[in-house]
Structure 1
Amino acid sequence: MKYLSILMLAALPVPALAAQETGRAGHAGHSEAAPETPPAIDPHAGHVMPPPGDPHTGHDMPAPDDPHAGHAMPGDERSDPPVAGPSAAARSGPAHAADAFYGAEEMARSRRLLLKENGALTAGQILIDKLETAFRKGNEGYAWDAQLWYGGDLDRVWLKSEGEGRFNEGGPEDVEVQALYSRALDPWFNLQAGVRHDFRAGPERTHAVLGIQGLAPYWFEVDGALFLSDKGEVTARFEAEYDQRITQKLILQPTVEFELSAQDVPELGLGAGLTSAEAGLRLRYQIVPEFAPYVGVTYERAFGGTADYARAAGEKAGGWNLLVGLRSWF
């Protein structure tokens, strides 16, 4: 029996014995073997995580500048197809195609009518800018300033008249009439040239006139003229006015006027330099655009030698006037 036990032990496999010995050594001192726990699943397994603290995390970064951006690369050349010009047949026929259907004579008449209605139309206006009575400390007077024009957009004929007088005298003291040809310089100003004649109780004068009239920036209406009399006297005048609308019907109009002389003219009571100036303010009520009564006030004054001539004649060099008047046009 002893020899039989030895032979059975020799027949057992060596790895089995080694496993048993190893198991005994690993569990030495434990009352019960702990079960093995499977590893936890990582939700970011397989993802490439950005480095911590990167401010551009999740942003699409632009590609670096391409030094060849906008350059035509070889092989990319494109050419537009050739465009043929109009054929010889397209250049034949009448200058105005409508002539072939309606007749050249009928279309010529229509074109003349179209030209007249869109640029060659003549028109005209009579403007009574001031027709007023002036009240001054027992010395009431009257004055007017009117003009008429007729023509087209570029060329016009003008007639202007202004004057003044006193009610206690037989007729006007001073009357001025101008006949002018006007040529448009641009949409705003007209160059005017012609003659002027003064009717007065004293010496009369006839003048050559060269002036400019129009609408300055900010809607100031201006009128300036240079006069050369038949006696060789040179004088000038400048006027400006502005319409300030308070309402659609109530309009306040400030005005200024200056007169100058290049020399002393004793027989006309004019001194060299600035001869006189007038500033006025008129408030008119526009019942209709063509009819507007007004009230106002003006201050006028003579200067230099002109003031001396006025005092020598027993007149004042300046003063205030209260006005009542009418502005009308048609």
Structure 2
Amino acid sequence: MGSMDHSMMDGSMDQGTMDHMQMGHDMGMSHGDSAPTSSDSIPQSPPPPEAFAGPAFAADQYVGADVMAASRAHVVREVSGLPVFWFMADRAEYRARQGRDGYLWDVQGAYGGHTDKFWFKSEGEGNFGEKPESAEIQALWSHAIGPWFDVQAGVRQDLVGPSRTHAVLGIQGLVPYKFEVDAAAFISNKGDVTARIEGELDQRITQRLILQPRAEISLAAQDIPELGIGSGIDRVEAGLRLRYEFAREFAPYIGVAQEWKVGRSADYARAAGEDPSVTNFVVGVRFWF
């Protein structure tokens, strides 16, 4: 009997507990059903007109709109227009080839802000023990026409050979995620019209080892016999360089570069006793700061 009464007592307590839980669950459900959802509390109407009654910048009503406008313009100039100097030797190399070994330099730099810069370039090449075959320097104004490209205009001065000063108009930049381009047209003080197109692409093998294909094409609108340049395509160069970045700012490289004189330019080269096709094995360094 005691055992049966105890069992019955336990059973009644269990049933009561279950009934109480069921009641609480039902109450909770009914309470949840009656409570507003989060989406119901978000206003669906547009902001009231008085929300736009004040100034666009809260500080204007305390300091003055003119003063704050000048201050904001100053901040923009300081942040985006702060003058910066940059210099890079893209190619500074020794060239081993048939006959006399040679050298080449190709450097450029800029000083200015985000949109407008003073840009300078210099390149040239020659054989050791002789005067440079070619050498030039350019002074350019560079203006950003988008996030990837600058338009450039200025002057170029040839430093060897027949004196020439050229007006320059070009474009330089990066085809997004592809290759760098530097293209320019030149009009000399003698009326000669020439152009040059350069392109290079960095292919990362590892984080530090980079393979760079490079190509350059020179063109002329007319024959320029005193410079050994024929009309049309004057010269083509294609190269492949493998560099190792000990740091992003310093990377030695090795490679090969092939040059061809084309058309009338090849005829001029042969007449001068030169080979219109030259293979160069190169060792150099690329650095910037």
> Shorter-chain TM-score: which interval?
0.7 to 0.9
Choose the corresponding residue for 2:136, options 167, 176, 179.
176
Displacement of 1:310: 0.6
**Counterpart selection for 2:50 from 83, 86, 91:** 86
Partner of 2:72: 111
Amino acid at match of 1:226: A
Equivalent runs, 1:56-205 vs 2, <5 Å: 85-86=49-50, 90-91=53-54, 96-98=57-59, 111-112=72-73, 114-169=75-130, 171-200=131-160, 202-205=161-164
In structure 1, the gaps of 5 or more residues are 1-79
Query: Which aligned pairs between 1:1-330 and structure 2 lie closer than 5 A?
Result: 85-86=49-50, 90-91=53-54, 96-98=57-59, 111-112=72-73, 114-169=75-130, 171-200=131-160, 202-330=161-289
Alpha-carbon RMSD: 2.4
Larger radius of gyration between Structure 1 and Structure 2: 1
**One-letter code of the match for 2:112?**
G
TM-score, normalised relative to structure 2: 0.78
User: What TM-score, normalized to structure 1?
Assistant: 0.69
Alignment match, 1:41: none
- 1:31-54 CA-to-partner distances (Å, cap 9, x unmatched) read xxxxxxxxxxxxxxxxxxxxxxxx
What is the rounded CA distance, in whole Å, between the counterparts of 1:203 and 1:149 in structure 2?
A: 28
2: CA distance, partners of 1:249 / 1:139: 33
State the Cα deviation string for residues 32-89 of structure 1 (Å, max 9, x = none).
xxxxxxxxxxxxxxxxxxxxxxxxxxxxxxxxxxxxxxxxxxxxxxxx989752289x
Contact 2:203 2:212 in 1 (8 A): yes
Cα displacement (A) at 1:173: 2.5
Question: Alpha-carbon deviation of 1:204?
Answer: 1.4
Deviation of 1:103 after TM superposition, in Å, equals 8.0
Determine the C-alpha separation between the residues in 1 that align with 2:46 and 2:217: 69
**In 1, distance between residues paired with 2:46 and 2:248?**
62
The alignment partner of 1:307 has SS state of helix
Q: Deviations over 1:104-162 (max 9, x none)?
A: 89866753553134422322210110000000124111010000111222211100000
Please report how far the alpha carbon of residue 217 of structure 1 lies from its aligned counterpart in structure 2 after TM superposition: 4.1
**Structure-2 change in CA distance of 1:260 and 1:99 (3 Å):** same
Q: Letter of the aligned partner of 1:313 in structure 2?
A: A
Quote how far apart the aligned CAs of 1:199 are: 1.1
> Displacement of 1:279 after TM fit?
0.2
Rounded to whole Å, the distance in 1 between the matches of 2:127 and 2:144 is 38
Distance in structure 2 (CA, Å) of the matches to 1:105 and 1:300? 61
Q: Name the structure with the higher helix share.
A: 2
- Read off the aligned partner of 1:245 and give its amino acid letter: R
Distance 2:201 2:48 in 1: 60
CA deviations on 1:224-261 (whole Å, 9 max, x unpaired) are 11111101111111000000000111000000000011
Code of the aligned partner of 2:125: E
Q: Distance in 2 between matches of 1:121 and 1:254?
A: 34
Tell me how far 1:172 sits from its aligned partner.
2.1
CA contact (8 A) 2:81 2:112 kept: no
Deviation at 1:102, TM superposition (A): 6.9
How many residue pairs end up in the alignment? 246
The alignment partner of 2:191 has SS state of: coil
Structure number with higher relative contact order (C-alpha < 8 Å, ≥ 6 residues apart): 2
